[in-house]
Amino acid sequence: MANTFRAAVVTPEASLFDQVVVQAHLPTHDGQRGILYQHAPLLTKLGSGVLRLQTENGEERFFVSGGYAQMLNNELTIITEHALPANDVTAKIVAAEQTKLDAITGTSAADLLARQAAADRIKAMRLAANISI
């Protein structure tokens, strides 16, 4: 297993993934970031998006929203507030998020930020699960 590293995905509720991977693609707060074996030490804030972890047997995909990722000594640790395996994201879950978004009706700066964050989560969920708009 040359040129691989360990990756772990942890939420407050559970450890969702802990395996050796070939590469990772992270949805950071400022765009996508690719990680390979021997990557320089890194600590980055996560955004909402699709986390892709390439194992030697295929790709694992997760919807993630918020949190941090650290790459150190060929170990990638992803601590996120919300994560779901892409296969677990359903139209019903996306509809529930849409209901939450629709309930944010204020015009304050905080309400606008909350609406944008909710919209970003919905978009990321749809991408993770390949659910059309």
Q: Specify the CATH number for the domain of residue 42.
A: 2.60.15.10
**Other Cβ atoms closer than 10 A to 126:** 18
* Whether residues 58 and 9 fall in one domain: yes
Question: For residue 50, what are its two tokens?
Answer: 């699709």
Q: Which range marks the domain in which residue 71 is found? A: 5-86
Number of domains composing the chain: 2
Query: For residues 35 and 25, what is the distance between their CA atoms, to the nearest angstrom?
Result: 6
pLDDT in tens, 63-117: 999 999 999 999 999 999 999 999 898 889 898 989 989 999 889 999 998 898 8
pLDDT in tens, 14-59: 999 999 999 999 999 999 999 999 999 999 999 999 999 999 999 9
* Whether residues 72 and 61 fall in one domain: yes
* Whether residues 71 and 124 fall in one domain: no
| pTM listed for this prediction | 0.84
Contact 9, 27 (CB under 8 A): no
CA distances (Å), origin 83, targets 63, 66, 105, 107, 125: 5, 9, 26, 29, 10
Residue 132 confidence (pLDDT): 62
Residue 133 confidence (pLDDT): 52
